Amino acid sequence: MGRIKLDVGGTLFVISKTSLEKYPDTLLGKLLPTSDNYDENTNTYFFDRNPEYFNHILDLYRTGSLHMPHHVCGNSFQKEMEFWCILPRYVGDCCLNEYFKYENDQNSMTYINHSFDQLDYTDEECKRSAFKRTMRKLWLTLDQPLSSIAARIFNYVFMTVVILSMVSFVLGSHPDFRDQILTFEQLLWIRQNMNVEFFDNINLNNSKEVMFATTMTSRTLTNIDLFCMIFFTAELVVHFISCPIMKKFFTFPLNVLDPVLLVAMWTSYAFEQNLEFMIERKELTVIYQITKAFVVLRLFRFFRLVKIYSGLKIILLTLYASAKELFLLFISFVIAAVFFSSFVYYAEFSVANEFPTILSGIWWAIITMTTVGYGDMYPSSTYGHFVGAACAFFGILILSMPIAVVSTNFFEFYKKNMERERILKFKTDCEKQKTDCEQQKQQTFTDISSTSTESNKSDDSTSDNTCVTENSYI
């Protein structure tokens, strides 16, 4: 029986030739005396690899399946498998989970790292032109709040304006912050004597509609809004112009939101400045209401905070990564809601005025399953009580299962993000230490240079020599 001697990292391994030939698609299965690793004098094949890993590799040829040592880094063992041309399909079933765990860890880390990638100018671009350098400063200040002190300050200013714009929006719906333009009697007079559709459509029993028809946002709030709009417009323009790759600017959802929001805000502002013109045209009133609805989106500007608080980004990433589970939750919820609403409809058939249709039962089922229970609809017959109890019970079950998966995903991402931040901090510290070290070296070098220059001078050497010494150190 032919034996093959393998010298791996200084340790000698002996294995039968027939064992190696079992896997001809691997590196060891293709060994020939003509290969570079073969040493004629010792009749061995030499490989400069880790002998500790090699024992596990060799087990594949002896036992027919590969088992991973659990105390080593999965990534390094995968590299070892790649070197020996061993495919993942040879990994034993018991170790497959471990094998994929490393891969999954790696994938989620790459996913998180990728989501934190930032657009930036390259160093070469900045070296070449002063314009790019200025643009880069602007871009970093506007886009990456953690990049410098100026960027931090700008971000606080930006957030203050966002809060201001939100406060003005919220207060705009309060009667105390609105200026009276018509009295209730004047409104009644207009309705009776003038044929304006806007006023005719107002429901006089609805105090909100009457308030919006007889008042308008106070001058102060309008001015605050105007200031916010000018600020956001200027910010958007500079932000866009300073973007390193303009095409990619709108690939970020928040950057898409900004122009839409600004168009909506400016349009509704223009309408508010020309109330009489708008009221006379029905189509314009509809457009005004739509733009006003869009203005609510300004609350989304708060998501800018994701650039400072990575935890917020992790919540978004979790939702995105858990799309499958959330879809499952939605489907199971819809099925259960239809199921219980049909049941309650027939269980309450004999009760007058309750659950008039199955559709209204769906609303009841959703509110019961989420344990909200508004109490606007409830079963009152014995059968109905049974259905109601079952609905509440299954609702808790259906809700809890996919949510557990979502929270596990969140925990995983959160843990990975903490690791990422730790690694990032470690790398920054290392870089800082390296720069400090180089600066120190440079300082020592300059000190030596000046000392030698002075000594040269004291030695009454020629001025030419001094120049040469200085230049040589520069």
Closest separation in Å from C-beta 95 to Zn ion: 3
Minimum distance from residue 53 beta carbon to Zn ion (Å)? 15
User: Checking DSSP bridges between strand 215-217 and strand 11-16, what pairing results, if any?
Assistant: unpaired
Compute the least distance from the CB of residue 28 to Zn ion, in Å. Answer: 20
H helical segments located in 348-381 = 358-369
Among residues 92 and 311, whose Cβ is nearest to Zn ion? Answer: 92
Q: Which is nearer to Zn ion, 94 or 146 (CB)?
A: 94
Say whether residue 94 binds Zn ion (CB under 5 A).
yes
Beta carbon of residue 239, minimum distance to Zn ion (angstroms, whole number): 53
What crossing angle do the helices spanning 74-83 and 51-63 adopt, rounded to 10°?
60
- Work out the burial of residue 417: count CB atoms within 10 Å of its CB; fewer than 13 is exposed, 13-18 middle, 19 or more buried: buried
* Binding residue (CB under 5 A) for Zn ion from 5, 56, 67, 152: 67
**Residue 95 touches Zn ion, criterion: CB under 5 A:** yes
**Nearest distance from residue 91's CB to Zn ion, in Å?**
8
Segment interacting with Zn ion, rule: CB under 5 A, options 63-71, 242-250, 349-357, 454-462:
63-71
Cβ(35)–Cβ(67) under 8 Å?
A: no
**Among candidate residues 283, 256, 255, 258, the one with its CA nearest the CA of residue 271:** 283
Residue 56 in contact with Zn ion, rule: CB under 5 A? no
Span of 27-35, 62-70, 244-252, 256-264 interacting with Zn ion by CB under 5 A: 62-70
Nearer to Zn ion, 95 or 387 (CB): 95
* Pairwise CA distance, residues 171 & 252, whole Å: 30
Q: Does 96 bind Zn ion (CB under 5 A)?
A: no
| Rounded distance between C-alpha atoms, residue 321 and residue 317, angstroms | 6
- Name the minimum Å distance from CB 408 to Zn ion: 25
Q: Is 92 in the site for Zn ion (CB under 5 A)?
A: yes
Stretch that binds Zn ion, among 95-103, 119-127, 249-257, 394-402 (CB under 5 A): 95-103
Number of residues located near Zn ion, criterion CB under 5 A: 4
In DSSP terms, which residues pair with 61 in a beta bridge?
Answer: none
Identify the bridge partners of residue 14 per DSSP, sorted by sequence position: 5
The conformation of residue 217, written as its DSSP 8-state character, comes to E
Burial of 452 by CB count in 10 Å (0-12 exposed, 13-18 middle, 19+ buried)? middle
- State yes or no: residue 377 binds Zn ion (CB under 5 A): no
Among left, alpha and beta (phi > 0; psi -120 to 50; other), residue 10 is: left
Considering the complex, state which of residue 95 and residue 224 has its C-beta at the smaller distance from Zn ion: 95
Residue 71 CB, shortest distance to Zn ion, in Å, is 13
Place of tokens 């323009």: 237
Site of interaction with Zn ion (CB under 5 A): 67, 92, 94-95
